[in-house]
Amino acid sequence: MKIQRILIGLLIILNVTFLIMCSSENTSEEAQSTDVQSFLDDYTNESLKLIIVAGEAAWKLNTEIYKDDTTNAYAATMAEEAYAAYTGSEENINIARKYLEDKESLTDLQIKQLEVILYAAANNPATIPDVVSARIKAETQQTEDLYGFTFMLNGDTITTNEIDKILREEKDLDVRLEAWEASKEVGVGLKPGLENLRDLRNETVQALGYDDYFAYQVSDYGMTTDEMLALTDQLIEEVWPLYRELHTYARYELAEMYGVDEVPDMLPAHWLPNRWGQDWASMVEVEGLNLDSIIGTKSKEWIVEQGERFYVSLGFPELPEVFWQNSSLYPLPENAGYSKNNHASAWHMDYKQDVRSLMSIEPDPSWYETSHHELGHIYYYLTYANEDVPILLRGGANRGFHEAFGSMMGLAAMQKPFLAELGLLPENAETDDLQILLKEALNYIILIPWGAGVMTDFEHELYSNNLPVDQFNAKWWEIKKNRMGIVPPTERGEEFCDAASKTHINNDPAQYYDYAISYILLFQFHDHIAKNILKQDPHATNYYGSKEVGDFLRDVMYPGASIDWREMMELHLGEGISAKPMLEYFEPLLDHLKEVNKGRKYTL
């Protein structure tokens, strides 16, 4: 009995000790979590103030570019440096690292936010303030040089919209060559700035342990450089049989269009209907689907207003008034006295309701589709700006998700049943469905070797392999030939920098694979919506007015970056990233092109 009483006593003491230890441990964990949350709240509030100021300065820099006036550039630089100084401060880096040493005491959302803080810090580390400051100044200057450039053709100024129109419509190869060469002149002056930016961007992120700027951007996907390159190679390999058919088809069809007897083995760049060869869709006119003549009768305002009506029909809210007040949606008047960024974009100014878009809308099918795309970004912003998603996690599940939803809505808005719903096509319009598929493939399939190949390979060479400046142009054209079978129309020496004529190379660097990934995701989500929600053929859907489609999209958009993108795909699609739905979509076209190309010479 005595031994039993002693044992019982010991057990009581042990239990009490255990409870005290657990209580102490829990208290410690709760204190840690509370401290972390206080830090996250303070960081969010302070960084958001700086983000808003920097965003407004960047907006002005992109929408009001005055020749030889550095006022906007100076303001943008100062605002960006203030943001950089805070987000890259040693104190914030050290605190975030310290808290992440004890992840067990943190919530998943806290861990994700701390990782976002360190990711942002790597772009602005206070340990090398002079380098960060120099990079910011260089980026601001490059933006001004890029968008302040005056394009000239035969001694007259010409807009990029006008250059694009020539490349879409002109049959005279001499005129096309002049327009194409004019579009590349901007790269000449940007080359020294690109070399400088490469060095500064690499040095900036290397201070926090990244190998180079390319590796830094890739890490946002939770992937290494090798893993990303393996994925992009895989995507190109999967679409290559169809791309090879499209390349062969284009060589022969364009040679006939331009009256050239000997079909070239590689596509001369100025033959293609796009400055960079990334979209060939305007090669094909689908009989019965002449949207130019219909949309061309609409106003510029109708284009974006119709885009809003589409999203509202799905159950999304009307765009906030601030969107209409602050966006820059249309081309500047000729007497404006300043220029603006000519690349369409969507902006989330305060990570809440202040959303706006920068476009130069004209009433044509291209801007009709682009407007739907940009509003896809806007509604994604508005959807994840909710009380359940911390401000630091208000972003896409990955960067490709943002582009995927925008592009998917652009695709949906161009399908026949959708167009008929709007009265843009007769309900019984007879069209050649294979030609529609061909036109779509000349957009979506062409983008894969362009985005996952040319752009990704060049920027990997630029940042990871420190490509020498005297090889920029040679490497660019070597990659374009290998990845797409496209060659320059004339000798392009190192006095040129044709890669730098592409906006993203300068101001949205080392992440163009986003677009290729987004197109793969686009077809995965579109396939799911068509088959499982609308019960329609993916080639002929009508999203318009479907609240069920809207509910599905909101469910995917709502968490923002608070859930891992791979988990999101498994949750909503039941699979990881896959090109299978895209290949199934274009399978009838592959069979058709094999017949069309019989007897023709394949050169890829």
What pLDDT is recorded for position 524? 97
Q: How far apart are CA 273 and CA 86, in angstroms?
A: 45
pLDDT in tens, 246-280: 999 999 999 999 999 999 999 999 999 999 999 99
Please report, for residues 356, 394, 487, the alpha-carbon distance to residue 352 in angstroms, rounded to integers and kept in the order given: 12, 9, 45
pLDDT at 28 over 60: no
What pLDDT is recorded for position 293? 80
Please report, for residues 58, 199, 242, the alpha-carbon distance to residue 76 in angstroms, rounded to integers and kept in the order given: 6, 21, 45
pLDDT at 100 over 80: yes
DSSP state of 360: -
Q: Find out whether 224 and 173 touch, Cβ atoms under 8 Å.
A: no
pLDDT in tens, 498-528: 999 999 999 999 999 999 999 999 999 999 9
What pLDDT is recorded for position 428? 80
Q: How far apart are CA 504 and CA 526, in angstroms?
A: 26
What pLDDT is recorded for position 18? 41
β-sheet bridge partners, residue 267: 486
What pLDDT is recorded for position 458? 98
Band of residue 19 on the pLDDT scale cut at 50, 70, 90: very low
What pLDDT is recorded for position 291? 79
Flag the least confident range among 432-436, 578-582, 586-590: 432-436
DSSP state of 531: I
| Non-local CB neighbours of 468 within 8 Å, separated by 6+ positions | none
DSSP state of 510: T
Q: Is 151 helix (H, G, I), strand (E, B) or coil?
A: coil
Q: How far apart are CA 426 and CA 419, in angstroms?
A: 8
Domain 218-324+363-601 maps to which CATH number in 3.40.190.10, 3.40.50.1970, 1.10.1370.30, 2.40.50.140?
Answer: 1.10.1370.30
What pLDDT is recorded for position 197? 98
Q: Kindly report the average pLDDT of the chain as a whole number.
A: 92
Question: Quick one: tokens of 504?
Answer: 């993203």
The DSSP line for 86-129 is HHT-HHHHHHHHHHHTTGGGS-HHHHHHHHHHHHHHHTS-TTSH
Q: Is 170 helix (H, G, I), strand (E, B) or coil?
A: coil
Radius of gyration of the chain (CA): 27
Share of the chain above pLDDT 70, in %: 95
Which DSSP helix (H) or strand (E) runs through 288? Answer: none
Average pLDDT over every residue of 238-243: 97
| Non-local CB neighbours of 244 within 8 Å, separated by 6+ positions | 602, 604
Q: How far apart are CA 478 and CA 14, in angstroms?
A: 73
Q: Find out whether 245 and 593 touch, Cβ atoms under 8 Å.
A: yes
- pTM (2 decimals)? 0.87
Closest CA to 361 of 416, 306, 286, 436: 306
pLDDT in tens, 179-216: 999 999 999 999 999 999 999 999 999 999 999 999 99
DSSP state of 154: T
pLDDT in tens, 430-480: 888 899 899 999 999 999 999 999 999 999 999 999 999 999 999 999 999
DSSP state of 393: G
How close are the terminal C-alpha atoms of the chain, in Å? 91
What pLDDT is recorded for position 78? 94
3-state helix, strand, coil in the chain (%, to 5): 65, 5, 30
Please, what's the b/e burial string for 52-77 (b: 16 or more CB within 10 A of its CB; e: otherwise)? Answer: bbbbbbbbbbbbbbeeeeeebbebbb
Q: How far apart are CA 278 and CA 505, in angstroms?
A: 14
Domain boundaries, the chain: 218-324+363-601
pLDDT in tens, 334-382: 889 898 887 899 999 999 999 999 999 999 988 999 999 999 999 999 9
What pLDDT is recorded for position 11? 41
Band of residue 103 on the pLDDT scale cut at 50, 70, 90: very high
| Non-local CB neighbours of 376 within 8 Å, separated by 6+ positions | 405, 406, 407, 408, 409, 410
Q: Find out whether 509 and 392 touch, Cβ atoms under 8 Å.
A: no
- Cα maximum dimension of the chain: 110
Q: With 0-12 CB in 10 A as exposed, 13-18 as middle and 19+ as buried, what is 553?
A: buried
Q: Find out whether 139 and 150 touch, Cβ atoms under 8 Å.
A: no
Band of residue 27 on the pLDDT scale cut at 50, 70, 90: low
Q: How far apart are CA 562 and CA 388, in angstroms?
A: 9
Which DSSP helix (H) or strand (E) runs through 20? Answer: helix 2-63
Average pLDDT over every residue of 131-151: 92
pLDDT in tens, 73-94: 899 989 999 999 999 999 999 9
pLDDT in tens, 274-332: 999 999 999 998 877 777 888 889 999 999 999 999 999 999 999 999 999 999 999 99
What pLDDT is recorded for position 14? 41
What pLDDT is recorded for position 477? 98
Q: Which residue has the tokens 């949606």?
A: 329
DSSP state of 539: T
